[in-house]
């Protein structure tokens, strides 16, 4: 929603200011300049990126228009799920969760938490690392290192798209100059025309520079920043899981393990201690 508002604000401000100066909108409509700039930008992306990177970029670009799914509510669901798993292990042993982590899509436990069941990356991360806990005798320190490597790998993958988009954004002002120079070249071929004709062609050529700079700083670079923020949110989400798991494997009771995860949540997304306790009590009453 905010991305759409931002697009409307940028577009409205630029066009509105231009019209306030009595500008002619038809001058800004230059299909040839658009083809040169954005076609070359797309081509440069293809040159710089393997096929899997291009697929990731087109897949993730649509995420810019969607709201981030990670907030206080999803963090509360995550902490309650971990608390439920920890208590189940405490009560019935590690093997009691084997069925849940092997087929989470059929697990009644995971079905109670739709924000996690629908988040395939988080679900895989939770189940995969509980499998490690169930099948090995890994120390908390070793588990901490293993989870850190896993989180870094997830973060690097999520940063592929914003990094690639940012590089495309950096190229747009230069490509705008290319379009402008080509426009000037065409104008020089009409040097014998009257001044009003030359002025029209020079103005059309300068639109290339305008479009390249606007696309870079008004749209494409902010898209990359948006995806960077989403990647950071996902990394924090996985860090919360890591903190809770390492604490539990280290011998902490479920309440302390979940509290370790809560402390890893930044800013306004962090539920208070009282809020978490209240939600856990509600889930206990349902059980």
Is residue 189 included in any domain, yes or no? no
- The mean-pLDDT minimum among 38-47, 65-74, 224-233 falls in 65-74
> Do 233 and 154 contact (CB within 8 A), yes or no?
no
pLDDT tens sequence across 87-124: 999 998 888 898 888 888 888 888 888 888 888 889 99
Q: Is residue 262 part of a domain?
A: yes
Whole-number percent of the chain with pLDDT over 90: 59
Specify if 100 maps to a domain.
Answer: yes
Please provide the DSSP assignment of 70-82 as one string. -SHHHHHHHHHHH
- Tokens 């963090």 locate to 75
Q: Where are the alpha helices (DSSP H) in the chain?
A: 2-20, 25-28, 31-48, 51-61, 72-92, 98-102, 108-111, 114-117, 120-135, 140-188, 195-214, 221-249, 254-263, 273-286
Give the model's confidence band at 287: pLDDT under 50 very low, under 70 low, under 90 confident, else very high: low
Domain limits for position 107: 33-62+70-175+216-286
**Closest C-alpha among 83, 92, 77 to residue 260:** 83
The stretch 139-161 carries a mean pLDDT of 93
Q: Average pLDDT for residues 41-52, to the nearest whole number? A: 94
Q: Total structural domains in the chain?
A: 1
Calculate the average pLDDT of the chain: 90
**Which percentage of the chain shows pLDDT scores above 70?**
99
67-80, pLDDT tens digit by residue?
777 899 999 999 99
Six token digits for residue 208? 């290339």
Whether residue 83 lies inside any domain: the answer is yes
26 in any annotated domain: no
Q: Is residue 186 part of a domain?
A: no
Structural domain includes residue 205: no
Q: The pTM is what?
A: 0.87
What average pLDDT score do residues 232-237 get?
93
> Is residue 190 included in any domain, yes or no?
no
CB atoms within 10 A of CB 157: 13
pLDDT at 186: 83
């Amino acid at each position: 929603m905010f991305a759409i508002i931002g697009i409307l604000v940028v577009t409205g401000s630029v066009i509105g200011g231009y019209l306030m100066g009595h500008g002619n909108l038809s001058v800004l409509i230059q299909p040839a300049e658009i083809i040169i700039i954005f076609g070359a930008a797309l081509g440069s992306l293809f040159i710089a990126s393997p096929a899997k990177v291009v697929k990731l970029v087109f897949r993730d670009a649509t995420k810019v228009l969607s709201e981030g799914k990670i907030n206080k509510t999803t963090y509360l669901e995550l902490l309650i799920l971990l608390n439920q798993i920890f208590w189940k292990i405490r009560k019935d042993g590690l093997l009691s969760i084997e069925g849940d982590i092997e087929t989470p899509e059929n697990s009644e436990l995971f079905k109670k938490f739709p924000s996690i069941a629908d988040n395939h990356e988080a679900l895989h991360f939770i189940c995969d690392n509980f499998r490690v806990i169930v099948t090995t005798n890994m120390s908390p320190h070793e588990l901490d290192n293993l989870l850190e490597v896993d989180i870094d790998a997830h973060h690097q993958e999520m940063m592929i798209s914003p990094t690639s988009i940012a590089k495309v954004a950096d190229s747009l002002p230069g490509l705008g100059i290319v379009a402008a120079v080509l426009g000037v070249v065409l104008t020089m071929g009409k040097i014998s025309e009257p001044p009003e004709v030359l002025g029209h062609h020079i103005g059309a050529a300068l639109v290339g520079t305008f479009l390249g700079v606007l696309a870079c700083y008004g749209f494409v670079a902010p898209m990359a920043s948006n995806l960077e923020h989403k990647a950071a949110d996902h990394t924090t989400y996985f860090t919360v899981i890591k903190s809770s798991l390492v604490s539990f494997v280290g011998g902490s009771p479920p309440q302390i393990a979940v509290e370790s995860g809560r402390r890893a949540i930044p800013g306004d997304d962090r539920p208070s201690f009282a809020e978490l306790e209240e939600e856990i009590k509600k889930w206990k009453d349902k059980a």
